[in-house]
Amino acid sequence: MGLFTTTKKFRGQNYSRLKKECLNRGEKFSDPKFPPHDSTLYYSKQPPGVITWKRPHEIVDKPQLFIEGASAKDVTQGQLGNCWFVAACATLAGVKELWHKVIPDYKDQEYGELHPGIFNFRFWRFGEWVEVVIDDLLPTIEGKLIFTHSKERGEFWCALLEKAYAKLYGSYEALEGGNLSDALVDLTSGVSAHLDLTIGGYVDDFEKRKQLFKMMTKEMSEHSLMCCAITPHSHEEAEMRTNVGLVKGHAYGVTACRKINIGDTGLFSIFKGAQKVRMVRLKNPWGEREWNGAFSDGSPEWSKVSASERQKLGLTFEDDGEFWMTFEDFLEHFTDLSICFLINTKFLSFSKTWQETTFFSSWTIGVQGHNTDRAGGCPNHKETFLRNPQYRFDVREETDDIIFQLMQRDAREHKQEGMQNLVIGFHIMKVEENRKYRVHRIHDAVATSDYIRTRSIFLREQLKQGRYVIIPTTFKPDETGDFLMRIFTSKDPDAKELVRDQPKNPWYSCFKKAVMVTTITVKCANNLEKQTAFGGEADAYCIIKCEGETVRTPVEKGTSNPNWNTTAIFYRSKPEQPIVIEIWNSNMLVDGFIGRAEVTAPINPTHTQVQLSLYGRRKEKTVEKQGQLLVQVYSDDDLTSI
């Protein structure tokens, strides 16, 4: 899926049609759905002065949307506590491919003599791209913009983008206080991860520090967006400046990660003999208040770095809010890092191609046992947990790096009504290879996300080959709301929602209904026969057969004692028929038969291990083969027992 598939017209406004109407009438656009009123600014307080709404040509003689393109240095925060959004804009500005998408047809939208005062922006909102139309009336006090503005007085892209974002959420005040991860996602459709730098062990562990820097550098090279912050310990500490010039409770954009060569400088001894120093460049969206420690603007450390190294970094010492610091200092002073991974997009080139699967659904309250009863709470609530929506997916590689993101509809647009986001998370279980129906008994977890009161939850996990079920939940039972579950895999995971509790009884008489459910786990084999005259070990796998259904285990390579630990589930209408397990050797041309075993698996609702001897096929079915097979079986006449 690309960055854009289809876009939705926010509040039904069509930019092209409205612009054409304004040009035909020779009028400037005035937006009736986000008018220049105080109520558009604030819903709980008064403006900070007498507000005059002005168009850019009333503020400067020759306004421009962009002056020499967009850059992180353009964006400066105003009298609104939305540094989380401003920092994301500053980071976005450094990636042309991205802001060209958020500000579509930017050349056609540029100011000119007959500009109709209408603009169009795009934001990603709960699984779809939304086009937001605005007029260019901006709030000013004494002729100056009061909210986000550009360092260049004649440049207006960031002020207009902020207005469109405020319209999306109902008012400018709705943007006060937020999660910088959310802004990054809204501007990119990416998947955002939050790292708590205080608990990762990065300050004391050199190897962890090295791997984090390597990951940040790699993700930045692939156009991931990053922001960081220092968490205040109290409300009074918010926006308090530390003794090194950093501001608590304030979002900074991470705009570069570099290594600089200091091997032939006086810094060699200071940094414990290191040839290179890891550095990060940060941007304060306020456009001022910079770091004043080592490698700050004009600090003596820079005089010891060669002119060529400084030139490579594009080093400047302006009071523009942008500054460099060592990675060690970064980890010592900052507490939070947000990374927005730009995955599965067509306009950028990545080392890995991802398959995206999405599910839109809701946590709902209904009659118990009905498919409307889907609000069971987190795994702490064992009696109700499995009532939640359930989704199965397959990992087709031997191991795969999987990305998960659970989102709920943002309560920000209802902020003035006192609404807040739910505490959400999800639980992932390894299930039977052929599971088609809902899970009725909690399996062991392979991963569980954090549970946080936030708009979205991120998790990245290495999972082994097999079938899994993911269960998105609220923290408490009977909490309702809409959600979006996104899963990113290397190959098509054949993901589906599990809707039915058990097989549907057939209406035609030639098929019997299921009378029992059996799970069988093929655990391992031992002492299998060598597969070549030279004593070569087997590349062994099993085929489990039951009433016309087959399940295959992964191949265990080069061993006479394979461990599969693969489980299958069967809904059986002919319990007198045994379950057959065949062991095969995987070959390039024709697979070789190793042995065959049968298990009857009568009703026994406890998990019982059985050691099976191996026999031949067809005419040799009574001939015992070398080796043994260990399986675990469970059978019950309650089809919803597992």
Q: What are phi and psi of 109, to 5 degrees?
A: -90, -5
Q: What residue type is assigned to position 435 of the chain?
A: R
Please tell me the distance from the alpha carbon of residue 425 to that of residue 445, in angstroms, as a whole number. Answer: 13
Q: What are phi and psi of 166, to 5 degrees?
A: -65, -40
In the residue annotation, 83 being an active-site residue is answered as yes
Judged by DSSP in three states, 636 sits in strand
Q: Facing residues of 482 across strands? A: 362
Please tell me the distance from the alpha carbon of residue 193 to that of residue 227, in angstroms, as a whole number. Answer: 11
Catalytic residue (choose from 284, 344, 421, 585): 284
Q: What are phi and psi of 478, to 5 degrees?
A: 65, 25
- C-alpha closest to that of 491 among 394, 404, 359: 394
In the residue annotation, 257 being an active-site residue is answered as no
Catalytic residue (choose from 22, 82, 83, 257): 83
Q: What residue type is assigned to position 285 of the chain?
A: P
Catalytic residue (choose from 250, 388, 542, 546): 250
Q: What are phi and psi of 41, to 5 degrees?
A: -85, -60
Query: b/e for 376-397, b at 16 or more Cβ within 10 A?
Result: bbbbebeebbbbbbbbbbbbee
In the residue annotation, 250 being an active-site residue is answered as yes
Q: Cα–Cα distances in Å, from 639 out to 187, 442, 566, 605, 634?
A: 47, 15, 21, 11, 12
Backbone dihedral region of 529: left (phi > 0), alpha (psi from -120 to 50 degrees) or beta? beta
Contact of 512 with 574, CB cutoff 8 Å: yes
Please tell me the distance from the alpha carbon of residue 326 to that of residue 280, in angstroms, as a whole number. Answer: 6
* Residues involved in catalysis: 83, 250, 284
